Amino acid sequence: MEFDFQKIFLDQFSLIVALEILMRTVIMFITVLAFLRFSGKKGIRQLSLFEVAIIISLGSAAGDPMFQGEVAIIPALVVFTTILGAYRLITWLMMRSERIETLMEGKPEYVVENGVFVMGSHDKHTFAQDEFFSEMRQQGVEHLGQVKKAILETNGVLSIFFFPKEDVQFGLPICPKEYEDSSTQIPSPGEYACTYCGNVEELEVPNKCSRCEREVWVRALDLQRES
Ligand SMILES: [Zn+2]
């Protein structure tokens, strides 16, 4: 088999085609910008699933007429108008009905309460524990004993509320070095945190976690947050 590099890289490409692509791209780019302005969104940091769906539909409708000669611009604009209409309608419905809002975007969920993982929060969503840990480290958390509550917002951001300094308790370390010492062994008596649920117990010998019945422990920390 032989590759036709001429076709792969250039095909029918020529100066006139280049100019056409330039014009199409400028028009579609301006249209996308105008669309985003009219959608009423201020800026984009994190998108909910509903907004990601909108962006994907938009990107596909905008991309084709940019470089595919046989796709005209007006039909793409019809697609745009339809998406904008749907976006406006659904946003309007979401403002009026909490049920529709939950259906479209989900609900904020408690992940940590009083220094331990909320039971079931591991299984309910696909946000893995190491992702929580990474997100919490980025917000300056060293161990769960510093965290009064953590809430997973519908746009995927983790909101963290800290204990005041004097209320910091023993908690599960979330930095890799401390965490990697986790095992079913108890090398010396002390405060240990369950690696699954964050529950802290004073242990002398290996034991099951009284909260989740698992038995992998790591030495708990009670460091305060550096301010
Ligand atoms: Zn546990």
Measured in angstroms, how far is the CA atom of residue 22 from the centroid of ligand 1?
60
Measured in angstroms, how far is the CA atom of residue 196 from the centroid of ligand 1?
5
The answer to pTM > 0.75 is no
CA dist., res. 106 & res. 124, Å (int): 12
> What integer is the mean pLDDT of 124-139?
78
What residues have a C-beta under 5 A from ligand 1, the ion? 194, 196-197, 199, 209, 211-212
Measured in angstroms, how far is the CA atom of residue 136 from the centroid of ligand 1?
19
CA dist., res. 91 & res. 108, Å (int): 18
Structure tokens at 88: 């406006």
Do residues 177 and 143 touch, judged by C-beta distance below 8 A?
no
CA dist., res. 124 & res. 104, Å (int): 17
Residue at 184: amino acid letter:
T
pLDDT interval class at 178 (50, 70, 90): confident
Measured in angstroms, how far is the CA atom of residue 120 from the centroid of ligand 1?
11
Mean pLDDT (the chain, rounded): 87
Measured in angstroms, how far is the CA atom of residue 214 from the centroid of ligand 1?
6
